[in-house]
Amino acid sequence: MGLAHHKNSLLEQENQGLRESLGIKKKRQKHGRTMDLVQEGEHNGGAVLWSPRKFREAGERQLQREQAEEQEKLHKADMKKLKANNALYKKKIAEEKRVAKEMAKEEREKEKEKRAQEQAQKKQQKEEEKQAAEAREITQPSQITQATTSKKQAPKRKRVERCTGGASGVNSEEAPPKVTRTGRNITIPKKFR
């Protein structure tokens, strides 16, 4: 019984070792692509034997294809990086514009406040001058009334013109008719004379 037990344990160890070696081999194996030995336009109906030259050409085609794919990947990565940089640049420009706009707005607000203060000062100064003038008028009322009474003017007399007789009642001496720039005479209607 002991002999069977030892044989069994040896077999298990051997199996485990074989499994590990298979796992290592599987890891090492690369699943490559099948070679494209048939070129476009070549169609053979029966069995085909491939020469070493055909294998070489197929390998070169596959290498070129892989290089083109790699270049395409690099190109896409570059384009992605460029787009990211462009977006970052646009963001930076937008931020600078926003900051400049805010600064201009603050500047305008400061100017507005300054003008409002100046206008308030001017208004206050005018009010003070007006109050000072009113105060002077109140303190000197007797001088003002004396000046106005001393300069009393005689009432104006109206001039009365005489009519030289005539049924119509219109002056016989009318002013000569007015002339426009073009030389036409202007006749004023009777109701405005």
**pLDDT number for residue 163:** 53
Domain contains 18 = no
What pLDDT, on the 0 to 100 scale, is given for residue 111?
Answer: 96
Instruction: Specify the pLDDT at position 27.
Output: 64
Residue 10 falls inside a structural domain: no
Residue 64: inside a domain = yes
Which residues in the chain land under pLDDT 70? 1-2, 25-33, 39-46, 141-175
Q: What is the pLDDT of residue 84?
A: 95
Other residues' Cβ atoms within 10 Å of the Cβ of residue 71 = 10
Label residues 130-146 b or e (16+ Cβ within 10 Å = b). Answer: eeeeeeeeeeeeeeeee
Q: Please check whether residue 153 lies inside any domain of the structure.
A: yes
Of 187, 103, 66, which Cα lies nearest the Cα of 111? 103
Please report the pLDDT score of residue 174 as a whole number: 65
The pLDDT value given to residue 28: 62
pLDDT value of position 9: 87
Q: What range defines the domain where residue 101 resides? A: 34-192
- Does residue 6 fall inside a structural domain? no
Residues 64 and 85: beta-carbon distance below 8 Å: no
| Structural domains in the chain (count) | 1
Helix and strand element counts for the chain (H, E): 3, 2
Asked whether the beta carbons of 59 and 35 are under 8 A apart, the reply is: yes
Q: Would 13 be classed as within a structural domain?
A: no
What is the reported pLDDT for 82? 96
What was the pLDDT predicted at 173? 60
Q: Tell whether 150 is covered by a domain.
A: yes
- Residue 104 in any domain: the answer is yes
For position 156, what pLDDT does the model report? 64
What pLDDT is attached to residue 69?
95
- Say whether 189 sits in a helix, a strand or coil: coil
Q: Which pLDDT belongs to residue 5? A: 82
For 99-150, the pLDDT digits (tens) are 999 999 999 999 999 999 999 999 999 999 999 988 888 877 555 555 555 5
pLDDT at 67 (0 to 100): 95
